[in-house]
A and B are shown apart, each in its own frame.
Chain A
């Protein structure tokens, strides 16, 4: 989380029209710049980032170091490709822009994207590097695109002149299927000199690596919110469907002791599981209602493959919770089924209510209600009469038996 002012030097010369990085070198570059700006501003809110172009009609500062991400993204839009890159002038102008930064406490850093051949002499670049080092400016070089003889050597010499205690880096990105931004995510340019980096960079790196990620479904919500949301919703629906099936099985075995205590114990298990989940999951689930909370917790815990919590225990808790709240289970069930099945859903609902044993268990769970109380039985009878005719016949039989 080092406080830093960064100037990004963009190569918008003719060489950037080439398509060896998809979709074009310049597009890949623009994506990488956007990613870097986001990472820098997120790692420390007081960080500032500025952008300048090195080719075109000449070195031009597009935006002076600012922490306003919108401004930076806006200026990247509508850039034109043309001319020849002037690396030396670009770095010197960047140094000047950093010198006049508003907050003198920020460390100075320049990030250079060198996609076209470097026409300067190695000596000149070394001199520039020494001047940067003297004024304690760090330099990151992204060497991609054109690879003529001597370019890599010159850039390495520049880096050696600037490097002070490993604060400066060079990254060589060969053309290939991987996007420029993906390759850069795992480099020290993003992770900030191995200090542990920002949460953004670390999470993005994990997501790109495709391995265990700190996020729900291996997708960073910051990078792709729609995809993350879609995955989460589909996971919830799957959960709900499985819950309805499990609930039916558990319904038979539902005991009368499960009452108000169950809901409070359910809350306890909920919070316990919340403690187990990562802080990211916590932030997400606190926004949800309690109904979704239970399902999402399970989805999260399962996706994280957390060995600390017992899968079986969770499933049982879930089915008990679902059994406890028949309307919830049915509502979920209804939501996943087709509209054509609505009538069936309706009858399911009334079937449940008409189910004598189930209703009496519910009533027993309510404090202060005695199922043997005649007034309660009368109420039950009236409820039964409201159910559908075919069910009424079946249920009234056992109902009347019990009444007697």
Chain B
């Protein structure tokens, strides 16, 4: 499911395609099994900086290559493609599984649940590989959880960049913020037909 960029990047600006990183809610991004808490936030950056990991990247704990990354968006997005830049020497992830709109997944959940889509990854040091999604399933994504169960034999798994290609809608999947509940009914709020003109509608005014 991988495809290469078969055009030179001067013709069109690749960075605008990979601009979904702007819609990621970075404060709520979290990862499980990361060696340094908070290092996961450094992998979401602009396309041009995907190879520029100035020291900060996501690494798993020693001897355990599994990683789980939870990425919420600020509004619902449609994801067309995902790009992953891993580390060298076998520390790149070899498999990726995605779950959509599920909160609080941990490793046992991830291993037992059916993923929305799975990919076999290849080592992608230059960051030119893009993995396409089954677009119909990725239509209104409020958050996505990426599970990397294995790598290419390294002691840890390193991820330097995660990019999303697609478009953002303006819809938000927030919970209802303010609801006013009535403790006692207020008659003025509930005009019955009898009060409102005896069954006649107000259409022909």
Contact = CB atoms under 8 A, between A and B. Distances in A.
A133 interface: yes
Interface string A104-116: 1000000000000
A164 interface: yes
Find the residue from B36, B103, B108 having the highest chain A CB count within 10 A: B108
A134 B104 contact: no
B29 interface: no
Task: Say what secondary structure dominates the interface of chain A.
Answer: loop
A136 interface: yes
Contact of B66 (A99, A133, A134): A134
Contact of B107 (A104, A135, A164, A165): A135
A165 B37 contact: yes
A134 B156 CA distance: 13
A134 B31 CA distance: 10
A134 B61 contact: yes
B82 interface: no
A99 B103 CA distance: 12
B104 A104 contact: yes
A133 B61 contact: yes
B37 A134 contact: no
Contact of B33 (A99, A134, A165): A134
B106 A99 contact: yes
A9 B86 CA distance: 40
Contacts of A133: 33, 61
Nearest to B35: A164
A99 B32 CA distance: 14
Given A135-B32, A164-B37, A165-B37, A130 B103 contact: no
Nearest to A165: B37
A308 B107 CA distance: 58
B145 to A, nearest CB: 12
Contact of B32 (A130, A136, A165): A136
Interface in A114-145: 130, 133-136
B118 interface: no
A134 B64 CA distance: 9
A133 B106 CA distance: 12
A135 B108 CA distance: 9
Interface in B34-56: 36-37
A255 to B, nearest CB: 60
Contacts of A164: 37
Given A164-B37, A165-B37, A134 B103 contact: no
Interface string A273-284: 000000000000
A104 B28 CA distance: 12
Contacts of B108: 99
Interface of A: 99, 104, 130, 133-136, 164-165
The 8 closest A-B pairs by CB, nearest first: A104-B104, A134-B33, A135-B106, A104-B103, A165-B37, A136-B32, A135-B32, A134-B107
10 contacts: A99-B108, A104-B104, A133-B61, A134-B61, A134-B64, A135-B32, A135-B107, A164-B37, A165-B36, A165-B37
Interface of B: 32-33, 36-37, 61, 64, 66, 103-104, 106-108
Given A136-B32, A165-B36, 20 more contacts: A99-B106, A99-B108, A104-B103, A104-B104, A130-B61, A130-B64, A133-B33, A133-B61, A134-B32, A134-B33, A134-B61, A134-B64, A134-B66, A134-B107, A135-B32, A135-B106, A135-B107, A136-B37, A164-B37, A165-B37
